[in-house]
């Protein structure tokens, strides 16, 4: 969460460094989010088979390696986007961090340069000795992962984003083809990457739609605010970080408060846990 918010504040600096349009610089966020989402589902399935301790350690190492790679290729934008994607894959093993992120990101970017934001995730390496000592060791269990299904989802989503960014029809065709093959694939695979039975649940469908709309709106606002402050007011990253801090920290406070209220009301109704 910290890594994502520090980069949000620095999108104007990255855009200026590579002479990018807003849609072009959005890939710094988009690549992370797409691979974070994909990795969350993949790691969730892997946790049913492999030791959680091992998965978390692997995720931290991937995250740290991607950060080093991103700093090393800071003058090559495609490399920066690829490193952000790899960061998302590693980070999916995981919020106060989202609240302080804008201030930290603004300070680091304004004082040292945006490329040093890649160094912040290296601090997670400190947690490895504690995780090794505290997390239980588990034996490998039976099962497998639908890698082909995961690949089809990744291709379909990425091609759709390319279409929305560059307005080239062949990206839309690739996205549609990948999704069509995915639909056929999940019907013929015993343990597909996406379970078709989930979409038969009306509550699940409604939750997916609401979650998509809320998340899209919030990410869009977080992405556009720094660019707006820079273009309209000429503000630097440190000033942008301070201006975004109140909203970010209130999200942390009220998010926790909302969870407490929900669970307390549910317990009063005699429930032990939220409904699935």
Q: What is the pLDDT of residues 121-172, one digit of tens each?
A: 888 888 889 888 888 877 777 777 788 988 898 889 888 888 887 788 999 9
3-state SS of the chain?
CHHHHHHHHCHHHHHHHHCCCHHHHCHHHHHHHHHHHHHHHHHHHHCCCCCHHHHHHHHHHHHHHHHHHHHHCCCCHHHHHHHHHHHHHHHCCCCHHHHHHHHHHHHHHHHCCHHHHHHHHHHHHHHHHHHHHHCCCCCCCCCCCCHHHHHHHHHHHHHHHHHHHHCCHHHHHHHHHHHHHHHHHHHHCCCCCCCHHHHHCHHHHHHHHHHHHHHHHHHHHHHHHHHHHHHHHCCCHHHHHHHHHHHHHHHHHHHHHHHHHHHHHHHHCCCCCCCC
Residue 34 has pLDDT above 70, yes or no: yes
pLDDT value of position 97? 54
Rg for the chain, CA atoms, rounded? 20
Task: Map tokens 């490193």 to a residue.
Answer: 83
Give the range with max mean pLDDT: 39-43, 97-101, 177-181, 250-254: 177-181
Is 132 a member of any domain? yes
Domain for residue 169, yes or no?
no
In a domain, 197, yes or no: no
Question: Does 189 fall in a domain?
Answer: no
Q: Is residue 43 part of a domain?
A: yes
Note down the domain range covering 44. Answer: 2-145+214-268
Q: What is the pTM of this model?
A: 0.73
Tokens of residue 249, six digits: 């920290």
**Residue at 153 is within a domain:** no
Pairwise pLDDT comparison (67 vs 138), residue with the higher score: 67
| Rama region for 234: left / alpha / beta (φ>0; ψ in -120 to 50; rest) | left
Q: What's the pLDDT score for residue 172?
A: 94
In a domain, 114, yes or no: yes
- pLDDT, averaged across the chain: 82
Give me the number of domains the chain comprises.
Answer: 1
The answer to the question of residue 6 being in a domain is: yes
């Amino acid at each position: 969460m910290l890594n994502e918010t520090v980069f949000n504040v620095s999108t104007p600096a990255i855009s200026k460094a590579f002479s990018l349009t807003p849609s072009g610089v959005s890939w710094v966020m988009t690549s992370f989010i797409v691979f974070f989402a994909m990795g969350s589902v993949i790691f969730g399935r892997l946790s049913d088979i492999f030791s959680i301790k091992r998965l978390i350690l692997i995720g931290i190492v991937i995250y740290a390696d991607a950060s080093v790679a991103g700093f090393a290729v800071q003058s090559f934008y495609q490399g920066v986007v690829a490193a952000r994607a790899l960061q998302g894959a590693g980070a999916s093993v995981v919020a106060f961090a989202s609240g302080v992120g804008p201030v930290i990101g603004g300070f680091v970017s304004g004082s040292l340069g945006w490329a040093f934001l890649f160094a912040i995730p290296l601090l997670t390496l400190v947690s490895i000795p504690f995780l090794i000592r505290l997390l239980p060791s588990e034996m490998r269990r039976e099962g497998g992962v639908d890698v082909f299904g995961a690949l089809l989802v990744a291709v379909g989503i990425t091609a759709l984003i390319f279409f929305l960014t560059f307005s080239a029809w062949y990206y839309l065709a690739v996205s549609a083809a990948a999704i069509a093959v995915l639909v056929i694939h999940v019907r013929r695979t015993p343990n597909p990457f996406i379970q078709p039975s989930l979409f038969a649940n009306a509550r699940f469908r409604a939750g997916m739609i609401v979650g998509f709309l809320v998340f899209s709106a919030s990410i869009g606002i977080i992405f556009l605010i720094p660019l707006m402050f820079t273009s309209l007011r000429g503000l630097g990253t440190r000033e942008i970080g301070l201006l975004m801090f109140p909203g970010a920290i209130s999200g942390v406070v009220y998010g926790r408060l909302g969870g407490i209220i929900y669970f307390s009301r549910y317990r009063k109704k005699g429930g032990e846990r939220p409904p699935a």
